Structure 1
Amino acid sequence: MSNSQPDPLVRQHTNDIELGVSDVLQRHVTRHVVAPKPVSQKKLNFEHKRPRILREMMAEATGVFFYVFPGIASVASFTLATTNGVGAQVGIPVFGSLFQIGWAFAIGIAFAIITCAPVSGGHFNPAITLCFAIWQGFPWRKVPHYIFSQIFGAFVAGLFLMACYWPQIQAAKAIDLKTHGTAVYNGGVASIFCAFPNPDQTNQGYLFFQEFFVDSYIGIVIWACLDPANPFVSPTSAPYTIGIAYAAMVWGFAGNTLSTNLARDLGTRIVAAIFFGGEAFSYNNGYSWISILVNVPATIFATGYYEFLIRDSLQKIQGGHAEHEGGEEGLTRYLSKVTGEDIPTENQTSERGIMNAANGVYEKQF
């Protein structure tokens, strides 16, 4: 090919690609993407006047919605498809399983974190918010705002699900009332929205233990994923790791009654109470309070377990993710005490001395 002839790829040029998903092409091949319009001063003024707490509350509510809605929608598709007389309206006679439901919640959690965590931190669970306040210095004044937003997000998810499946839910409710005299039981249409124990699960202590264990398991995984000293979880993998931890517990225990989140349960249980009666709260001698509240002490226990027995705060400090409460001098005094060496602190050499001392502590611990 002579130098005077254009490259065939140039002749195939299709001009600029519009802004959108095509943005990712810039990371792989050289393509022209239409530049976004400049940010107007009006938009900046609006965003400046918008309260930060409002953004955080909306992010928490939206994140819980993103996590709860696909989960309960998956439960609905499974429950309604297996209800006599309603399955034909949904389509496939046996549509879904606990495996499908677990993945729906897992992917919903991942989407919630990806979408909203950059704004609010991505708590999406009142127990996690409380644990951040207890262990990580999250402002206590924000705790009520976050918890209200989380419950509200689940409540809206329940309402949207009810609106989407209204004809099928009404048909299933009529069948439940005719067959069982109530729609509030495990497998009944009300169980689409919140957990109810199996008929043979009358031992409240057993139900408490199961919920406490499952929530503790999830809590430890979450706290490990959020530990900046954990080399096995990257920012891009954390949403999916947390989601799969939740799914694993769904696969193991959802058929045996499971809740895992105060906001997810209470928000949708209110919707169930509105449409199916107060029995949504009183069923099985008030099991609902185990379903709603056990998540909080279980998660505090789990995160406390991690904080006291597993976390390595010196590794966090060395990685630049935290600092000693006494500053550089406090860290120097600690390292001098541990290593038995006199570590200088007044020049560049001292900085290397601190890092060398920290590395020495790691080697001894290892």
Structure 2
Amino acid sequence: MRRLHTHDMEIGVTEAVQRHAQRYVVHPKPVSQRKLDFEHSRPRWMREMAAEAIGVFFYVYPGIASQASFFLNGTEPIFGSLFQIGWAYAIGIAFAIITCGATSGGHFNPAVTICLAIWQGFPWKKVPYYIFAQVFGSFLAGLVLVGQFHPQMTALAAGFRALHMSPNSLGGPGSILCSFLGAGQTNYGYLFLIEFFVCSFIGIIIWSVLDPANPFISPTSAPWAIGLGYACMIWGFASATISTNLARDLGTRIVAAIFFGGDAFNRYSPIAIFVNIPATIFATAVYEVILRDSFAIIGKGHNTHVDGEEGLMRHLTKTGTIEQGASNTIRGQNGDDYA
């Protein structure tokens, strides 16, 4: 009490501490009409595109910056590791969702945007805008990184050229920005399979996290769960060469082509760029057809039947659920309580 200088011992320690803390809280400034008018005048599409670009930047930059620290210092353990790189991407994804998800929905992946348009009613007219913004965010992340590490990356590129090797090869400056194959990786069918599996795995995690009927996830933990899904795939398959995201790879690959040669778009690049889309569509189909429980979502109050209460009653009558009584109408056929 002497340290708090409140002299309010009679009201109790808890109340005294609360009063002391409140004295040092900066109260928010009242919102002016001018600010409201300005925010109302901003085009919605521009805010969404900016959020997607900034979000992808927040996701890509920590990962490639961690790779730059690792590769530009001779892969010395003191400057990083595959474990560190995986965490950099995971935390970057979490930061991206936390920072920009509330504005644009937090897609940050062209395949996710396309799947939301197919299954969740996302407007198709917005799909090209979102994809452009996502690729641009990745391009900007690569551009900033090259600007920051330009002397080191230029010296590394010169060393590779002196050995008659392309800078756009594993260990070169290009591989800091995007994925390139090792010398022994020549089986493109195997690379396709690995990329397809990785993207499908991540896709199922994303849809399970976004499922409002999932009792094991909350909005506060969702960014970290999705980020850890990416990190697990990096830890498991980075040695096999993976990309995981069209925007992440294409944007930085364009930067690699500008600074280190057009061979950045080699025979492997279509796998790195395009497999993400069919794999994520496949993962979404698996979740929608096998794992999704729309009745549970309706029961939890997160959605409604397309025909309203009348449609829901028809379903309950058809399935025999209504016969169990009013108290059991929001129970699953396997006995799980969705209320």
Same fold flag (TM > 0.5):
yes
Of 284, 304, 315, the match for 1:323? 304
Structure 1 residue 356 corresponds to structure 2 residue 308:
no
- Structure 2: how far apart are the matches of 1:27 and 1:189? 56
- What's the counterpart of residue 214 of structure 1? 198
Normalised TM-score (structure 2): 0.92
Residue identity opposite 1:70 in structure 2: P
Distance 1:202 1:364, change over 3 A: same
The change in CA–CA distance for 1:183 and 1:41 in structure 2 (over 3 A counts) is: same
**Cα displacement string for residues 246-303 of structure 1 (whole angstroms, at most 9, x for unaligned residues):** 0000001112101000000000000000001110002xxx210110000000000001
- Residue 69 of structure 1 contacts residue 161 of structure 1 at CA under 8 Å; is this kept in 2? yes
Amino acid at match of 1:287: Y
Aligned ranges 1:38-53 → 2 under 5 Å: 38-53=30-45
Q: Measured at CA, do residues 279 and 94 of structure 1 come closer, stay the same or move farther in structure 2, by a change above 3 Å? A: farther
On the 8 A contact 1:335/1:358 being kept in 2, the answer is: no
CA distance in 2, matches of 1:31, 1:237: 32
- Checking the alignment, whether the CA contact within 8 Å between 1:82 and 1:94 is kept in structure 2 is no
The code of the aligned residue for 1:306 comes to: Y
CA offsets 1:128-147 (integer angstroms, 9 cap, x no match): 00111111111111111110
Amino-acid identity (%): 61
**Number of residue pairs matched?**
329
Q: Which runs of 4+ in 1 moved over 6 A?
A: 25-28
The 3 A distance-change label for structure 1 pair 78 and 340 is closer
Residues 41 and 360 of structure 1, relative CA distance in 2, 3 Å threshold = closer
The residue aligned with 1:335 is 316
Match of 2:13 in 1: none
1:34 to partner: Cα distance? 2.1
Question: Residue 273 of structure 2 corresponds to which residue in structure 1?
Answer: 292
**Structure 1 Cα separation of the partners of residues 222 and 337 of structure 2:** 27
Amino acid at match of 2:272: S
Distance 1:26 1:78 in 2: 47
**Quick one: structure 1 residues 180 and 301, their matched pair in 2 at CA, closer, same or farther if it must change by over 3 Å?**
same
What residue identity is the alignment partner of 2:189? G
Q: In the TM superposition, what is the alpha-carbon distance from 1:197 to its structure 2 partner?
A: 1.3
Change (3 A) 1:93 1:241: closer
Mapped to 1, the partners of 2:184 and 2:100 lie a distance apart of 40
Q: How far is 1:325 from its partner?
A: 0.8
Counterpart amino acid of residue 276 in structure 1: F
Flag structure 2 segments of 5+ consecutive residues without an equivalent: 8-16
CA contact 1:74–1:101 (8 Å) conserved in 2? yes
> Secondary structure at the residue paired with 2:212?
coil
Which ranges in structure 1 are unaligned for 5 or more consecutive residues? Answer: 1-6, 14-24, 84-91, 344-351
Across the aligned residues of Structure 1 and Structure 2, the Cα RMSD in angstroms comes to: 2.3
- Structure 1, 67-76 or 170-179: larger mean CA deviation: 170-179
Q: Which amino acid aligns with 2:105?
A: G
Q: Provide the residue aligned with 2:84 in structure 1.
A: 100
User: Contact conserved, 1:106 with 1:240, CA < 8 A, in 2?
Assistant: yes
Q: What's the CA shift for 1:52?
A: 0.6
1:341-362 Cα offsets, whole Å, 9 max, x none, are: 469xxxxxxxx93x62222635
Alpha carbons 2:330, 2:337 under 8 Å: kept = no
- Identify which of 42, 62, 69 aligns with 2:54: 62
Is 1:11 aligned with 2:2?
no
Residue 342 to residue 199, structure 1, CA distance change in 2 (3 Å)? same
**Counterpart code for 2:328:** N
Cα distance 1:328–1:38, how it changes in 2: closer, same or farther (>3 A)? Answer: same
Aligned counterparts, 1:247-258, within 5 A = 247-258=231-242
Contact 2:142 2:252 in 1 (8 A): yes
Choose 195-204 or 144-153, whichever is displaced more.
195-204
Corresponding position: 1:301 with 2:282:
yes
Q: Which residue of 2 aligns with 1:73?
A: 65
- What's the offset of the Cα at 1:181? 3.1
CA distance, structure 2, for counterparts of residue 318 and residue 29 of structure 1? 42
> Normalising by the residue count of structure 1, what TM-score does the alignment of the two structures yield?
0.85
Does the Cα contact within 8 Å between 1:73 and 1:161 map onto a contact in 2? yes
